[in-house]
Structure 1
C-alpha cells in the first residue's frame, strides 16, 4: 500500500513507481496507446514514461508527487499520478488515472477513484482537481459521473499541436 492508498477492495495492490520501472511503465503505456494517440497525437515513447515518473510542478517536492502502479496478480494494470497538496494545501491533483483497456467499463476506475478520494480526505484534502481533454468524451463522462464539475478551460500545448482541456474539480468534506 502506497502512503495509505487502499485499493484492496478493487482486488489491486499499489506500488510506488520510479526510475527502475521505466521499461515496465512504457510497456503498460503501450497497451493504452489509444489514449496517448488521442491526447498527444503519437504512441507512448520511453521519454514519456520517464517524464511521467520524474516531472512535477515547480515548487512541489518529490515526496508529494506519487506515481502509483496498480497491480493485479503481479502485473501492472493501472497507473495513478497524484500530487498531494497541489495547487494548495487542501487540494490534491489527479494527474492521471489510466487502466488497462481490457479492464475499463466494469467499475474499476470508480473503485480506484473512491479509494483515492478517501485517502486524500484522510490527509486533509477537501478537493481533487484534474484536467480532461475535450476530445476524450468518455473520460469527461466518467469524471462527471464521479462528481466532478468544470471550473475552467485551458489550452494544452504539446509537441504535436495543442488540446483544449477542461479543468475540473470535485469538492468533498
Structure 2
C-alpha cells in the first residue's frame, strides 16, 4: 500500500473547498457522532474559517489527504495552540470507505514532521467522549489524557490528549 500524501487546501480555490466538502460528506457517521447531524452544505467553509482563541489564519493549516490521486481524508492543524510549543490537531478524518486501512498512523507521522518543523515539543488533540473509536485510535498512538471538559458546539465532552514529538528532545 502506498503512503498517503498531504496537499495544502487553499480556501480561495473553489475546487479545493469542494474536495474538502466531499471528504467531510464522505464521513457522515463522524458528523452524527460528534455534532448530532449530517455535515451541512457549508461544512468545508466552517472548518476552514474556524479558529481557536487568539489565533488567526496564518496559524491554521488544512490539508487534503491524497492516496492514489484521490482525496481520502483531511488533516487540520494549528501552530502554537494552546501554547507556543504545541501543534494542535483539530481534525484527522477519512472518508468512511478509507477508515481502518492504516492511513491514520501514516498521516500522524506526517503531522509529527509538521509539528517538528514548527519547533513544537508535542502534538495535542481533543477527542470527544461521544466518539470512542477516535479516542481508542489516539490512545493506541500513544496520546495521554490530560483532562476532560465541555466541548462547545459539539455533543459530549472533549478529552484533551497529548503526545511528545519524537524529535522534541533535540530542539
Report the TM-score when normalising by structure 2.
Answer: 0.87
- Which blocks of at least 5 consecutive residues in structure 1 are unaligned? 1-8
Q: Equivalent residue for 2:160?
A: 167
1:38 aligns with 2:33: yes
Task: Provide the C-alpha distance between the structure 1 equivalents of 2:89 and 2:145, rounded to a whole number of angstroms.
Answer: 15
Q: 1:116 aligns with which of 107, 111, 120?
A: 111
1:90 aligned onto 2:85 = yes
Deviation at 1:96, TM superposition (A): 0.1
Q: Is the 2:6–2:63 contact (alpha carbons within 8 Å) kept by the matching residues of 1?
A: no
Q: Distance in 1 between matches of 2:57 and 2:75?
A: 16
Q: CA contact under 8 A between 1:23 and 1:46: conserved in structure 2? A: no
1:66 equivalent to 2:61? Answer yes
Residue from 140, 147, 156 that aligns with 2:151 = 156
- 8 Å Cα contact 1:134/1:166 also seen in 2: yes
Corresponding residue for 1:14? Answer: 7
Find runs of 4+ consecutive structure 1 residues off by over 3 angstroms.
Answer: none
- Note the C-alpha offset of 1:75: 2.5
User: Residue by residue, what CA displacement relative to the aligned partner does 1:109-153 show, whole Å, maximum 9, x if unpaired?
Assistant: 001001111221132110111111112111111101111011000
How much has 1:29 moved relative to structure 2?
Answer: 1.1
Q: Could you tell me whether the CA contact under 8 Å between 1:13 and 1:72 is conserved in 2?
A: no
Q: Which runs of 5+ in 2 are unaligned?
A: none
Question: How far apart in 2 are the matches of 1:87 and 1:13?
Answer: 24
| Distance of 2:94 and 2:134 partners within structure 1 | 12
Residues 73-101 of structure 1: per-residue CA shift (max 9 Å, x gap): 33211110000111111101000000122
Which one is further off, 38-47 or 20-29?
20-29
- The number of residues matched between the two structures is 163
Secondary structure of 1:10's counterpart equals coil
Alignment correspondent of 1:5: none
Give the C-alpha shift of residue 13 in structure 1.
4.2
